[in-house]
Structure 1
Amino acid sequence: MAAEPRHPLEGIRVIDASGSYAGPTAAMYLGDLGADVIKVERPRAGDDARHWGPPFVGEDSAWFLSANRNKRSASIDLSTGDGVELLLRLLDGADVFVENLNPGKLESKGLDPETVRARCPRLVYCALSGFGLDGPDRDQPGYDLIAQARSGLMSVTGARGGTPQRVSTALSDIVAGMVATIAIQAALLRRERTGDGELVDVSLLDADLALMAPRIASHLAGEPEPQPSGGTDSVLAIYQPFETADDTIVLAVGNDRMWQRCCDVLDLPELAGDAGLATNAGRRARRAEVVARVAERLATRPAADWLERFAQAGVPCQPVRRLGAVLEDPQVRARAVVGELEGPDGPYRAVRAPWRLGSVGRGRADAAPRLGADTADVLREAGCTPAEIDELLERGIAWTS
């Protein structure tokens, strides 16, 4: 009897022909879960993200390494007909295809969803793009910054009275990658029941609109359009950063009982006893007054003192930490979210999968591959003979490092 797969997606083969960050993130998470992910890249240059530096770790950028663990790299020239045909041969034996090419270019190469799915009816075809496969802007290029601006996310981010700001990480790409991973796994599960493949259409804009869902819901219910406010305009009246005597903390008062405990910690009995502030609606109506009183009191003691007091009272409160401190945080270290991977240029530290499974922990932890390192093996697995592989390499249709 064959042994049970150790990882949930063992036996699933993914062809990742995407670049930059969203598509690679989706494929990486599938690899974390045990899938065999083959990253198809341009000869010699590879994924653009390999060059997004400094900083670099050996030959590749830190950004690239953070979105491409648990993959093999096959370098194929998709600008040629022979290269496209080679990719299609890979897809014949694959379960999932992840791509983020321009829809118009896909059609010209015969790699559009309709053509590929007609050839490979069991394939789960995942198209990631800036704006989706339909609509008037389907052919426009999309990046994280573009999606944050178009979705309204930037319009609510930034200092009070200041200009809109981008959330300072690849938020749109990462969330779109997570959304794609969820949808791909659902499609694979349904395929087990029906035998049919699927088309998964994920856009950066749609992903950011999902992030904006609570703000959009409030606006549709009659709230005025929000403006950048430094994080002080939550639906909760006390849910924001404050300055203490020596550092910045955040305070999150999530319900009316917590408000009473917060007032006790701050020694503000007049606020605790004010019937007009007993509910969140009342505190929102007098937000400026409440925030001013809380800020005044918090400024009188150091952060460590307040953190201890609020923790004892069961009021959520945390320091605003810089990355150096985050990496040394005892909770972060205990959860082993940041781990060491052994790459071709030596070990490096990186954030690993943001989940644990009871059976395998965080899953696989193989470093990102060197460009073209696995080309020959991948072509051999696709049925190419040694002579064919040599010819493809000689003609530049395929490339190996």
Structure 2
Amino acid sequence: MSDESLPLTGIRVVDMSTSYAGPTATMYLADLGAEVIKVERPGGDDARGWGPPFLGQDSAWFHSANRNKKSVVLDLKHADARVVLERLIESAHVFVENLNPAKLTRIGLEPAAVLDRHPGLVYCALSGFGLTGPDTGLPGYDLIAQARSGLMSVTGALDGMPQRVSTALSDIVSGLVVALAATAALRRAERTGQGEIVDVSLLDTDLALMAPRIASYLAGEPEPAPSGGTDSVLAIYQPFATADEPIVLAVGSDVIWQRMCAVLDLPGEARDAATNARRRVVRPLLLEAIAARLATAPAKDWLERFAGAQVPAATIARLSAVVTDPQVIARGGIRALDSGVQVVASPWRYQQGRARLQTAPVLGADTECVLAGLGIANDELDRLRRTGAVGGAPE
């Protein structure tokens, strides 16, 4: 897919975010064709150092969220650097930041003030707790959001300590939310010229992930607790042991329940649990019967039988299996950047082609060309370098 045919071609994004949620958002905008200028402080985004493993000078984590971008180094302690940043924002359609409110005020980047100066801009503020409320100034991390949203309270072994979902869940989904909201705001800005402040928090994102559990609780369901991978609403929806390795079964409808009963040759009383409500009442008896049958044959045999009967089932894949899964390979789920670094592709597919995948930028590698594009002459750029207001690629 050529750059010209990507949906966000012609859109410029200035990205002042660090770590993972904001960079994920702008990476997806870049995958959609936007020109993303990553503004970094001297020393760069903290995520560059989140290793080992390192791929060249930067961590694998950094490469996983920063493809298709340009890097400009500005030291915003210098007034001259803040002037350059203002010129960058003036040239942009979208601005993304995840700074704390006190720092935004100190460097003149409060959302409302920036929108006053650039009324057509889509300003994306990404934080732990949002721009309003009593906790707006608190630092936010994935672990904190998972804990406060209730997500951890339902995750973990039965009767065990609550656990974090072991990936940057809040950050990645918040990045998707920012990309969605920014793209919608861009559509309106094209029609009306009116910009927007997009306020996304990790806590709000995790509340959205907990929506069905919270809705059930508010409707009278007992407060849930860690349940070892089962689902409090659907029965049966959980892992089971087989003769050699565990599998998961997802009985998402009454029809699937009857198919599963036929595959396992369960007794009549199990088949009589024809509704999810009934299955929840007799769940312990059903679990015992299912477990006894699954223990009689290896996982491969059961998966073949379930696939033939259209019963959703799967092994619990380790990453070594995930990256070689024929379905993942067929869909291009793992792709190589132009540098050869392998990363997970964007979670969408266009029929007309696939997005470019250019490697994550070297720190400051694009400072000179980006600033030249703003009309900053060579002698002025040299002065900015000498004062330390801007930086370039390492020697």
Q: TM-score range by the shorter chain?
A: over 0.9
Structure 1 segments unaligned to the other structure (5+ residues): none
Distance (Å, rounded) in 1 between the aligned partners of 2:186 and 2:277: 45
Structure 2: how far apart are the matches of 1:350 and 1:169? 15
Quick check: 1:156 aligned with 2:148?
no
Partners of 2:3 and 2:356 within 8 A in 1: no
Distance across 1 between alignment mates of 2:22 and 2:258: 46
Structure 1 window deviating more from structure 2 (254-263 vs 166-175): it is 254-263
State the partner residue of 2:348. Answer: 355
**Which residue of 1 is the match for residue 93 of structure 2?**
95
Q: CA RMSD in A?
A: 1.2
Asked whether 1:340 is paired with 2:336, we answer yes
Which residue of structure 2 aligns with residue 21 of structure 1? 20
1:272 offset after TM fit, Å? 4.3
**What is residue 391 of structure 2 aligned with on the other side?**
399
Equivalent residue number for residue 109 of structure 2: 111
Contact 1:264 1:272 in 2 (8 A): no
User: How many Å apart are 1:360 and its aligned residue?
Assistant: 2.6
Kindly provide the amino acid, as one letter, of the partner of residue 47 in structure 1. D
Q: CA deviation at 1:269?
A: 3.0
Seq. identity, %: 64
Question: In the alignment, which residue of structure 2 is the partner of 1:5?
Answer: 4
Give the Cα separation in 1 of the matches to 2:114 and 2:136.
Answer: 19
Q: 1:82 aligns with which of 64, 77, 80?
A: 80
Distance 2:76 2:223 in 1: 45
Tell me if the contact between 2:145 and 2:203 (Cα under 8 Å) persists in the aligned partners: yes
Structure 2 match to 1:187: 185
8 Å Cα contact 1:132/1:203 also seen in 2: yes
Q: Could you say which residue in structure 1 is the equivalent of 2:362?
A: 370
Q: Secondary structure at the match of 1:169?
A: coil
Cα pair 1:133 1:201 within 8 Å, conserved: yes
Alignment match, 1:329: 325
Mean Cα displacement is larger for which, 248-257 or 300-309? 248-257
User: What is the alpha-carbon distance in structure 1 between the residues aligned to residue 288 and residue 363 of structure 2?
Assistant: 56
Find the residue that maps to 2:167 and give its secondary structure. coil
1:224 aligns with 2:222: yes
Query: In structure 2, what is the equivalent of residue 309 of structure 1?
Result: 305
Output one character per residue of 1:80-126: Cα deviation in whole Å (capped at 9) or x when no partner: 22222211110011000000000121012111111111111111000
* Regions of 4+ moved over 4 Å: none
The Cα offsets for residues 274-321 of structure 1, whole Å up to 9 and x where unpaired, read as 3xx111100001111111110111111000000000000110011110
Deviation at 1:56, TM superposition (A): 0.7
Distance in 1 separating the partners of 2:288 and 2:356: 49
TM-score normalised by length of structure 1: 0.96
Shift in Å, 1:243: 0.7
Q: In structure 2, what is the Cα distance between the partners aligned to 1:47 and 1:131?
A: 21
- The answer to whether the Cα contact below 8 Å between 2:129 and 2:201 also exists between their aligned partners in 1 is yes
How much has 1:4 moved relative to structure 2?
9.8
